[in-house]
Amino acid sequence: MLGIKKIAEILFIILALLIIIMIIFGYGTQLKESIQKLFGIKTESETIHEQNIQSQEEFKNLMNHVENCKNSKDISCGCTFNIKKYNQNQMILSRTVDLQLVDITNTKKEEAIKEVNFGIPLEKADIKNTNCYFDKDFEKNDVNVARIFFDKEKPYLHSVKKLLLIPWQTEIYLNTEFPLYKNPKGNICWLSEKAQNIKECQ
Give the CB-side neighbour count of residue 98, counting CA atoms within 13 A.
9
Domain count within the chain: 1
Q: What is the mean pLDDT of residues 95-119?
A: 83
pLDDT tens column, 80-99: 888 888 888 899 999 899 99
**Structural domain of 153:** 44-191
Q: What is the mean pLDDT of residues 73-78?
A: 92
Contact present, 140 and 187 (Cβ < 8 Å):
yes
pLDDT tens column, 2-55: 677 787 788 888 887 776 776 666 555 565 665 655 556 677 777 777 888 888
pLDDT value at residue 130: 92
| pLDDT greater at residue 116 or residue 138 | 138
Rounded to whole angstroms, how far apart are CA atoms 95 and 131? 5
In this prediction the pTM is 0.74
Is 183 within a domain? yes
pLDDT value at residue 12: 82
Contact present, 130 and 97 (Cβ < 8 Å):
no
Looking at the predicted structure, is the pLDDT value of residue 107 above 90?
Answer: no
Is 160 within a domain? yes
Looking at the predicted structure, is the pLDDT value of residue 113 above 90?
Answer: no
Predicted confidence band at 120 (pLDDT cuts at 50, 70, 90)?
confident
pLDDT tens column, 153-173: 899 999 876 666 666 778 999
Is 5 within a domain? no
pLDDT value at residue 112: 76
Q: How far is CA 23 from the centre of its chain?
A: 29
Is 18 within a domain? no
Q: What is the CA radius of gyration of the chain?
A: 23
Q: How far is CA 160 from the centre of its chain?
A: 18
Is 105 within a domain? yes
| pLDDT greater at residue 159 or residue 194 | 194
pLDDT value at residue 77: 94
| pLDDT greater at residue 33 or residue 174 | 174
Is 130 within a domain? yes
Question: Rounded to the nearest 5°, which phi and psi values hold at 176?
Answer: -85, -20
pLDDT value at residue 141: 92
Is 85 within a domain? yes
Predicted confidence band at 181 (pLDDT cuts at 50, 70, 90)?
very high
Is 24 within a domain? no
pLDDT value at residue 26: 57
Written as one letter, the residue type at 149 is F
Considering the chain, what is the average pLDDT of its residues? 84
